Structure 1
Amino acid sequence: MVTDTDISPREAEVLELVGAHLSNAEIAARLVISVRTVESHVSSLLRKLEAPDRRALARAAAVPAAAAPVPPSVPPSALPAPLTSFVGRARERAELAALLAAHRQVTAVGPGGVGKTRLALAVTAEAAALFPDGVWFVDLVPVTDPGLIATAVAGALGLGEQPGRDLAGSVAAALADRHALVVLDNCEHVLDGVALFLERLLASCPRVTVLATSRARLMVPFERVYPVPPLSLAADGDSDAVALFVERAGAAGRPPDPALRGQIAAICARLDGMALAIELAAARCPTLGLDGITAALSHPLRMLTGGSRADERHRSVRAALDWSHALLEPADRELLRRVSVFAAPFTAAAAAEVTGSEEWLVADGLARLAEQSLLVVSASPSGTEYRALETIRQYAAERLAEAGEVDEVRGRHLRWCLERAAGLAADRQDWRARFDLVADDLRAALTWAGGRAERRADAYELARHLAELTFTRNLTGESQRRYEQAAGLAPGPAASAAMLRQASAVAGCRSAGDDMYRLRRAAADAARAAGDPAGAAADLASAATMAFRYSSTFVRLPSREEAVALIDEARRLAVPAAPGEEAGETAGGVGTASGEEAGETAGGVGAAPGEEAGETAGGVGAASGGEAGKRGAAEAALALAEAAVLADAFGAVQGPSVNEAPETIARAGRAVELAAMTGDPLAESAALDALSCAHLWAGDTFATAAMADRRVRLLASLPVSPTGTHELIDALGMVTEAGLGAGDVPGARRWARRLAAHPSLAEAGHRAPLLVDALAGHAGDVLDGSVRLLDAWRRAGSPARGYLGAAAAAVAMIHGLRADHDARRAWEDVLDQLGPSSDRALGYGAVFDAIVLLHRGQAAEAVERTAPEAAEVWKWITWIWHHWYVALRAEAAVLAGHPDARDRVAAARAAVTGNPVADALVRRAGALLDGDREALLATAEAFETAECPYQAARTLLLAGGEEAGRGAAALAALGFAPMAPAPAPA
């Protein structure tokens, strides 16, 4: 029976839209994924829900009868619903729509209050059919940092940051092949950020159109400007301006007498046809009447206060706001200007804290301001919320400055933000939703406080909190920037060093190797400035290690000479020179390693063959505690760096049979001992990773698996942190794949499930679960996981990521076993796009191809595919693939009648001892060679125990007779095509 937990969140979204009778193309556009990905989800749902066709699937979605299907002609839309009707502007709508049809970037320009946003929304709604891949609206009002434009757009699109890309890149990748419209509203305060973002977006997305609204043009060469005019005016009252006034006055109470339309026209003319001013005036009509409004417009406060920067239309809006402001009671004026510091909707309780008033008084005043149309009221789970329209908020902010209250009120707002941030860090219940509600205020408060020397301490605390919160919110790009900002605001170099280490760790989570390396070196400089040579030594050694553990994440990879220089400098800082000895000259130093040539690197010490260096976690953490503890951490970091450099040269250049293998293992083991003495589990984990890889290169599969298991258990209970998260994800991937290589399929599946459920992998997924399910023979799980992998890869822009090659090859193998030739070719195309790799030719590719060839009865071709001796291709099969390779090679030789078959079986039996799966494969080959049916059937039981259902079913088919029927049925139940009869062994 299919349960809710069997259906992934993305499948649930697809199922809901199928129930709404959307086509695959419409679903793809709605969810910003490819049509092929939708087809894969639908196929998975049909299988899971045992539905015979799409109609039955729609019924299974249980869509309420009242839910109307979305007409195919209406594209997916993410436009805010207007709270009031749109009046007039037929000519402007037609003109702006024509510009959108002819140009890729149009900016609707005009003063605040002219009606730019409402016009843009009206035109966008009418033009939506021209953009079949969707329309999205992005309000930039809450954005206070020009560098966060991409964050706002990604939020509107429902995108997270993709591994290896910043948010701007993630947005561009998601929209690269879309015919879509993006509306950027209220750009005037972040013009530079918008211009840079649009240049990148439009260059990467040739079918995307952008409509911006702004008080000033963006000043980019590809911009087409549309000046939004005031509402039309006519003395006889037959105009858009009068129509708007009448409609809004009627909504506020009762419509004015039609006989007075001429007087209304005169009022609208005095307001220059400005939509906001007319709405504000109309809202007071029931209480003041037309005569009162006319008199108020003659008040001296109508005069300009903005200087020569404002044109006549802007002067009229300001006059209307001055007039509306003058009608307020003094207490309400004070409240309006003080709540202008909020960048996002706020509650009465929040306003009371920031304004310094009693909550009941504030609540009463907010209600009066809302009645005056100066605040917008909305309901939320946290209670009634208020928001000032941007023009009014800016006007009120000017009044705040004139009153000399900026420092006082913004100071209280800063304290309120600090309390919110600390509360979010302490109470994690529903914290993500609570963070989203206050995030813009936290950013705005930090922007204000960061530029004031007297607020530096508070700004540092807020930047630090915001860095932590955005990291946990998976906004890793912003988190790194906030940690760097905190480092610049820190009260001293020691605190700055701590923040830079965190920033480096976040960069590691982003696979930004250059940033990770740069920031760790900057942390070393800060530690030296703080009088902490041991901390600086640990940072320098960790930076050197990063150059080898994360080599593929760098744009400019530091040379081996540079890394060795860092280690030498770290040694001088950590180990004082003895009399008569030059600082740093110690026996066995990195520079004295034999057989190494400077600059020869091939992946990282943490990168297994077939795995991109950089999947592993990085660097020893900064030491804390006394001088002894710091010195111990520095020594541990040095030992790890030396082991990393030596292991890299040894593994990449010399091979597993040379004498350096024991030395490499000894160095890594010493690094583990020193790290354990520091009491820092992250440092110990990093050293265990080096030791795992040293055993790996030496060909000890089981020691590698044991070290990986020890490492992940060490990290299991650590709290969330940038370094801890990166280290844990890597450790889970390592222990999963190491277990698979050692034949512990049940254990590997358990770890794989934990890895797949990690929140930091919600978007990107991981290759390890796919490898486990594929080699075990769980076709349905592989097909489901392949949809997520393909979706994430395409969202990231289909980058060449070689470390995903094994996962793509595993999916292609499953389709080969299912005789789904088109799907297999499609995944082989993906494999080609991931980039060339020797692993594909000689490592995982040989294993997966051999399994498919043997399934098809092509034993001779399988012999050819695995022709090289294991020692010839050790570098590409050492990781997961060694035991699988030698076992399949032996079976292929037996089934093909190869003259060396018996020797291959004997050699394989010795190589795989202790691996339950590979041992069963080799015993099966031996039983086939000897014609021992009883021994053959015994291996079927071994495969069942090892949780490898495909190989168990294959064994029954190879046994023939009455068992063959059971084997065929088992294969069919697993979703595989019938197996070709195997030739009798010669």
Structure 2
Amino acid sequence: MAGVVEISRRESEVLDLLAARLSNAEIAAQLTISVRTVESHVAALLRKLDAPDRRSLARRVTRTPGTAPVLPAPLTSFVGRSAERAELAGLLTTNRQVTAAGPGGVGKTRLALAVAADAAGNYRDGVRFVDLVPVTDAALVPAALAEALGLGEQPGRDLVTSIVQTMADRQALLVLDNCEHVLDGVTPLLERLLSQCPRITVLATSRVRLMVPFERVYQVPALSLTGDAVALFLERAAAVGWPLDAPLRDQVAGICERLGGMALAIELAAARYPALGLDGITAALSHPLRMLTGGSRTDERHRSVRATLDWSHALLEPDDQVLLRRVSVFVAPFTAAAAQQVTGLPDVVDSLAKLTEHSLLTATPTHGTTKYRALESIRQYAVEKLCEAGEEAETRLRHARWCLGQAAALSSSDPEWRARFDLVANDLRAALTWAATDRPATAYELARRLAELTLRRNLTRESQQRAEQAAELAPDTASKASMLRFAAGVAGCRTVGEEMYRLHLAAAETGDAPAVGLATAATVAFRFSSTFVHPPSRAEAVELIDRARPLAGSDPAAGAALALAEAAVLTDAFGAVQGPEENDVSETIARAERAVELAHRTGDPLAESAALDALTCAHSWGGDTFAPAALTQRRLRLLASVPSSPAATHELIDALGIAVETSLGAGDIAGARDAVHRLATHPALTEVGHRVPLMVDALAGNADAVLDGSLRFIDAWRRAGSPSRNHLGPSAAAVAMIHGLRGEDEARREWLEIVGQLDRPDFVHGYKAIFDAIVLLHHGHAAEAMQRLGPRPEEVWKWITWIWHHWYVALRAEAAVLSGRPDASGLVAEALTVVRGNPVAAAIAERARALLDDDRSTLLATADAQEAAGCPYQAARSRVLAGDADAAAALVADGFAPMATPP
């Protein structure tokens, strides 16, 4: 049919994940496909849907009435409850958070699922269901919700913030099931979600109220004894092949009354009707040992459920009873093979089938394997039986060992490991919770494995938490220090400087390589100062170095770490102080070279990479542009074969970020783009990609790419609370420059205000001067551009001799020529000498000389050189300056303001 767009199933999946604001790398991980394949699907969707960018694609994902919600498929029909269904649905239309409360077994979940399915068409973005039963730690509630939404943790922000940002403009219904045991995690999450996501509605089920001011409680009643309760019993009895005659309804009503109208109890009783008949059920319920007496009011409300469970348990064969109580240690669905390992029983298949028939387990076929699970009330009952039998410790130990085996298997190269991890993650966490008290050695192994797996799963906050937990459980000093250093590496990936610093100090305090730990902490304080809220002072860092020296001895690793710390702190190799004080370039280079030499001798590529970073910065402060680019490439080659670890990942991300800048400085636009691509597609990185490419695209003149990226930039920055981070300044200035070239003065002013919030106002040179000068020259304000670039490079501190040195001197020469400066010839000659070997800056300097000599052929030659170097804007500028009217018209057609030409 004409006008119908054909979208494949895979494209539809990609489109849904785009709507959830996942990066290409996250989509690839979610669907177990390559990033390149994701890029192909995105390109196809942009073409098919005639969308200008990813943001527009995401906005087009809407749920039409009748679309199936993301809800568990019920295994049995929903009986009765028409009045309750209508009442609860009505509350959802007038309240944004409704809690369906009631005792266990009353039918809260089934009612909530039925109402959610009915209401799905009223929510543009549909329904999401979150089962909190497997969540054993309140702190992991956000992770459960994120999993239901298809989200992963993003470096630099906590999971709750990621969830809130994703759902801010969504209209959806979230169903949070079984909240009672994790209220401390649910209530703060809901408060943030509802306050910052105005079109989100939450339906929670819980045995107790959430006790929050925005809650509307709906108390789920027991089934009506004269209608729904009997209907449920009759329907379930008929489902197992034993329909009841009408005259027996009164007897059924009596049973339902004895069961208190509790849905779970009625279902379990009906399932036993073929074996016992109504008389047998009545007799069993009348047995005093099967009735709960005493206890709290809450326990009294559970009397009928407990009685039914006691009765059902008593009817089991002894072997089946053993299996039921032993599989209660599983908090997530499990297979028969897993049950056999954990229970220690030789054959469990028949017993699992019997337990399923007794409605004590549910069975769900998945991918050729049947998964079993006990309803939570039944599982808790079985846990009590496990304790009464004196089997808890042995069974939980077998469960913990099974979990360790699952974790070890996940460490192998398995393309589906993420899905497998998600299936066993809650069991791993539950086993760790138990083992932490009585089995520290087992708990240590579980915590260590979880730290590794959650890092690979992009759950970086939990990874750091598990690594620190493993450190507390470690059997020896070396293991403790190793896990603390692991945690420090994860904190680095999260860009949390304070945590890196604290954890390296903690590693030093264990006594394992204390000199290395102290020196590394001092280096971190200066090398990654931009990731601190309040960086340690120089005096504090010097004190750490002084403490480390006498502890170093003849240890090569300690000597290398000390040399790097001295370069970082004593000569400020990384520019942490951000001022010209005490920055002797020759001494800085000498110290950094010594650090590289000592690190190389240790054979540790991570130590050598860190030292090369210091040497890169030192050469930059000295005005060298090509040495930093070469040193950074050396770092990347060094890191290419390093085994995966948090520290290695952090080091690689840092090296790629520096590679973007040093490549730009040397005029290698293609190299900068390659580094940007590697950053944006790195599996441990989800948000850095939008920060740096703006700078690359802006200098190249790719206005559309910059403007599209600016939307993601400002959205992410504002959602993060508009933090003041100087490393974001160049991206914001890049956007301001593009608006300036397009003649959009108001937008430019707005972005310059953002630049002012991100960077120190006294740093007027460097990237700010470069971007300002490009705009001023475009509009013919050469004298103002010259004033902006007035100081000689050596008169301006290190930020101008960083990546912007060649751009600065080349543009300064052009501004001097166009403004008619008498010293223009000398500035051009000087620039040509400084930028030799830089294809972009050399072409700008040659253009300045051609303008001085009125040499049109050379102007056109510089245009060709700039085009080849990947700078289409500078190429177009050269052609316009050469009098090419077509080039001038093409610039305007591309959205730029008309370019001024000199008389």
Q: TM-score under structure 2 normalisation?
A: 0.88
Cα–Cα, structure 1 residues 199 and 944, in superposed 2: closer, same or farther, change >3 Å? closer
Q: Specify the SS of the correspondent of 1:344.
A: coil
Aligned pairs for 1:583-982 (under 5 A) are 631-648=555-572, 651=575, 660-765=584-689, 767-779=691-703, 781-782=705-706, 785-786=709-710, 789=713, 792-793=716-717, 796=720, 799-814=723-738, 817=741, 828=751, 831=754, 835-838=758-761, 841-860=764-783, 862-960=785-883, 964-965=885-886, 967=887, 976-977=894-895, 980-982=898-900
Cα–Cα, structure 1 residues 785 and 74, in superposed 2: closer, same or farther, change >3 Å? farther
Contact 1:202–1:208 (8 Å) recurs in 2: yes
Structure 1 position 233 matched with structure 2 position 248: no
2:482 corresponds to which of 498, 506, 515 = 498
In 1, the alpha carbon distance for the partners of 2:869 and 2:781 equals 26
1:525-544 deviations in whole A, cap 9, x for unaligned?
112xxxx4xx1011011111
Contact 1:46–1:57 (8 Å) recurs in 2: no
Cα–Cα, structure 1 residues 702 and 171, in superposed 2: closer, same or farther, change >3 Å? same
In 2, the alpha carbon distance for the partners of 1:14 and 1:826 equals 40
Structure 1 position 291 matched with structure 2 position 279: yes
1:546 corresponds to which of 499, 524, 532 = 524
User: Which residue is equivalent to 1:526?
Assistant: 510
Q: Which amino acid aligns with 1:949?
A: P
Q: Specify the SS of the correspondent of 1:142.
A: coil
Farther-moved stretch of structure 1 (840-849 vs 483-492): 840-849
User: Which residue is equivalent to 2:32?
Assistant: none
Farther-moved stretch of structure 1 (768-777 vs 810-819): 810-819
1:389-412 deviations in whole A, cap 9, x for unaligned?
111111111111112111121111
User: Which residue is equivalent to 1:616?
Assistant: none
Farther-moved stretch of structure 1 (181-190 vs 635-644): 181-190
Structure 1 position 566 matched with structure 2 position 548: no
Structure 1 position 152 matched with structure 2 position 136: no
Structure 1 position 407 matched with structure 2 position 393: yes
1:485 corresponds to which of 466, 469, 490 = 469
User: Which residue is equivalent to 1:596?
Assistant: none
In 2, the alpha carbon distance for the partners of 1:376 and 1:411 equals 25
Farther-moved stretch of structure 1 (198-207 vs 478-487): 198-207
In 2, the alpha carbon distance for the partners of 1:782 and 1:494 equals 49
Q: Which consecutive unaligned segments of at least 5 residues does structure 2 have? A: 1-7, 24-39
In 2, the alpha carbon distance for the partners of 1:652 and 1:519 equals 20
Structure 1 position 466 matched with structure 2 position 454: no
Cα–Cα, structure 1 residues 10 and 675, in superposed 2: closer, same or farther, change >3 Å? farther
How far the C-alpha of 1:131 sits from its partner, in A, is 5.9
How far the C-alpha of 1:273 sits from its partner, in A, is 0.6
In 2, the alpha carbon distance for the partners of 1:762 and 1:512 equals 16
In 2, the alpha carbon distance for the partners of 1:87 and 1:519 equals 56
Q: Which amino acid aligns with 1:154?
A: A
User: Which residue is equivalent to 2:363?
Assistant: 377
Q: Which amino acid aligns with 2:727?
A: Y
Cα–Cα, structure 1 residues 431 and 129, in superposed 2: closer, same or farther, change >3 Å? closer
In 2, the alpha carbon distance for the partners of 1:271 and 1:429 equals 49
Q: Which consecutive unaligned segments of at least 5 residues does structure 1 have? A: 1-8, 18-26, 34-43, 62-67, 576-627
In 1, the alpha carbon distance for the partners of 2:62 and 2:242 equals 37
Structure 1 position 319 matched with structure 2 position 297: no
Contact 1:811–1:827 (8 Å) recurs in 2: no
Q: Specify the SS of the correspondent of 2:348.
A: helix
Contact 2:224–2:261 (8 Å) recurs in 1: yes
Q: Which amino acid aligns with 1:368?
A: K
1:230-272 deviations in whole A, cap 9, x for unaligned?
11222xxxx2212222333333335422333222221211110
Q: Specify the SS of the correspondent of 1:184.
A: strand
In 2, the alpha carbon distance for the partners of 1:671 and 1:69 equals 53
1:778-829 deviations in whole A, cap 9, x for unaligned?
455545655655565466455444322322333444455566788x559828
In 1, the alpha carbon distance for the partners of 2:415 and 2:307 equals 47
Q: Which amino acid aligns with 1:167?
A: L
1:353-379 deviations in whole A, cap 9, x for unaligned?
111233xx3222222222222222223
Cα–Cα, structure 1 residues 249 and 47, in superposed 2: closer, same or farther, change >3 Å? closer
Q: Which amino acid aligns with 1:914?
A: G
Contact 1:302–1:320 (8 Å) recurs in 2: yes
Farther-moved stretch of structure 1 (152-161 vs 717-726): 152-161
1:876-912 deviations in whole A, cap 9, x for unaligned?
3332222112222322343344554334323322332
Q: Specify the SS of the correspondent of 1:137.
A: strand
Cα–Cα, structure 1 residues 177 and 407, in superposed 2: closer, same or farther, change >3 Å? same
Farther-moved stretch of structure 1 (752-761 vs 542-551): 752-761
Farther-moved stretch of structure 1 (915-924 vs 795-804): 795-804
In 1, the alpha carbon distance for the partners of 2:631 and 2:211 equals 58
1:336-367 deviations in whole A, cap 9, x for unaligned?
11111111111111111111233xx3222222
User: Which residue is equivalent to 1:40?
Assistant: none
Contact 1:661–1:698 (8 Å) recurs in 2: yes
In 1, the alpha carbon distance for the partners of 2:394 and 2:629 equals 60
Q: Specify the SS of the correspondent of 2:799.
A: helix
Cα–Cα, structure 1 residues 944 and 405, in superposed 2: closer, same or farther, change >3 Å? same
Q: Which amino acid aligns with 2:848?
A: A
Cα–Cα, structure 1 residues 373 and 799, in superposed 2: closer, same or farther, change >3 Å? farther
User: Which residue is equivalent to 2:4?
Assistant: none
In 1, the alpha carbon distance for the partners of 2:248 and 2:183 equals 43
Q: Specify the SS of the correspondent of 1:717.
A: coil
Give aligned pairs, total. Answer: 877
Q: Specify the SS of the correspondent of 2:453.
A: helix
User: Which residue is equivalent to 2:380?
Assistant: 394
1:136 corresponds to which of 107, 128, 138 = 128
1:75-127 deviations in whole A, cap 9, x for unaligned?
99544343433333344345445555565554333221111222233344455
User: Which residue is equivalent to 2:339?
Assistant: 351
Q: Specify the SS of the correspondent of 1:378.
A: strand
Contact 1:808–1:828 (8 Å) recurs in 2: yes
In 1, the alpha carbon distance for the partners of 2:604 and 2:899 equals 57
Cα–Cα, structure 1 residues 755 and 29, in superposed 2: closer, same or farther, change >3 Å? closer
1:820-868 deviations in whole A, cap 9, x for unaligned?
788x559828945963544885332332333344444554554454444
Farther-moved stretch of structure 1 (798-807 vs 736-745): 798-807
Contact 1:170–1:796 (8 Å) recurs in 2: no
Cα–Cα, structure 1 residues 48 and 458, in superposed 2: closer, same or farther, change >3 Å? closer
User: Which residue is equivalent to 2:154?
Assistant: 162
Farther-moved stretch of structure 1 (813-822 vs 385-394): 813-822
How far the C-alpha of 1:464 sits from its partner, in A, is 0.6
How far the C-alpha of 1:479 sits from its partner, in A, is 0.5
Q: Specify the SS of the correspondent of 1:564.
A: helix
In 2, the alpha carbon distance for the partners of 1:833 and 1:302 equals 73
Cα–Cα, structure 1 residues 836 and 298, in superposed 2: closer, same or farther, change >3 Å? same
Q: Specify the SS of the correspondent of 1:765.
A: helix
1:706-758 deviations in whole A, cap 9, x for unaligned?
22121121111112110000000110111221011011222222333222221
RMSD after superposition: 3.7
Cα–Cα, structure 1 residues 659 and 354, in superposed 2: closer, same or farther, change >3 Å? closer
Contact 1:968–1:978 (8 Å) recurs in 2: no
In 2, the alpha carbon distance for the partners of 1:717 and 1:10 equals 37
